[in-house]
A and B are shown apart, each in its own frame.
Chain A
Amino acid sequence: MSTVLPTLRYSAEHEWIDDASPAKIGISQVAADTLGDIVYVDLPEAGSTVTAGEACGEIESTKSVSELFSPVTGTIVEVNAEAAENPALLNEDPYGAGWLFTVEVDEEGPLLSAQEYAEANGGELA
Chain B
Amino acid sequence: MTVSTTSKHTALHDEHAALGASFTDFGGWDMPLKYGSELAEHRAVRSAAGLFDLSHMGEIRVTGPDAGTFLNTALVGNLAVIAVGKAKYSLICTPDGGIIDDLITYRLAETEYLVVPNAGNAPAVLAALQERAAGFDVTVADESAETSLVAVQGPAAEAILLELVPAAQQELVTGMKYYAAAEATVAGTRVLLARTGYTGEDGFELYVPNARAASLWEALLETGRGHGLIPCGLASRDSLRLEAGMPLYGQELTRDLTPYEAGLGPVVSFKKAEDFVGRAALEARKAEGATRTLVGLRGLGRRAARAHYPVLADGRRVGEVTSGVPSPTLGHPIALAYVETGFAQPGTTLDVDLRGRTEPFEVVPLPFYQRQK
A residues apposed to B, CB below 8 Å: 34, 36-37, 39-40, 42, 58, 60, 62-65, 91, 122
Contacts and interface: CB of A to CB of B under 8 A. Distances in A.
Contacts of B303: 40, 42, 58, 60
B37 A37 contact: yes
A62 B328 contact: yes
B235 A36 contact: yes
Given A60-B326, A62-B239, A37 B38 contact: yes
6 contacts: A58-B303, A58-B355, A62-B38, A62-B328, A65-B304, A122-B1
Contacts of A65: 304, 306, 355
Query: What 9 A-B pairs are tightest by C-beta distance, nearest first?
Result: A37-B39, A39-B326, A40-B302, A37-B37, A36-B38, A62-B38, A63-B235, A37-B38, A62-B239
A58 B303 CA distance: 10
Contacts of A36: 34, 37-38, 235
A111 to B, nearest CB: 24
Secondary structure of the A contact surface, majority rule: mixed
A36 B93 CA distance: 36
B39 A34 contact: no
Given A40-B303, A40-B326, A62 B235 contact: yes
B237 to A, nearest CB: 12
Contacts of A60: 303-304, 326
B12 interface: no
B325 interface: yes
Chain B's interface size range is 10 to 19
B34 A40 contact: no
Interface string B227-245: 0000000010011000000
B1 A34 contact: yes
Nearest to A84: B302
Given A34-B1, A36-B235, A39-B326, A63 B304 contact: no
A34 B24 CA distance: 12
Contacts of A39: 39, 304, 326
Contacts of A122: 1
Contacts of B325: 62-63
Q: Which of A39, A40, A64, A91 counts the most chain B CB atoms within 10 A?
A: A39
Contacts of B238: 63
A93 B42 CA distance: 22
Interface string B116-127: 000000000000
A115 B235 CA distance: 31
Nearest to B39: A37
Nearest to A40: B302
Interface string B310-350: 00000000000000011010000000000000000000000
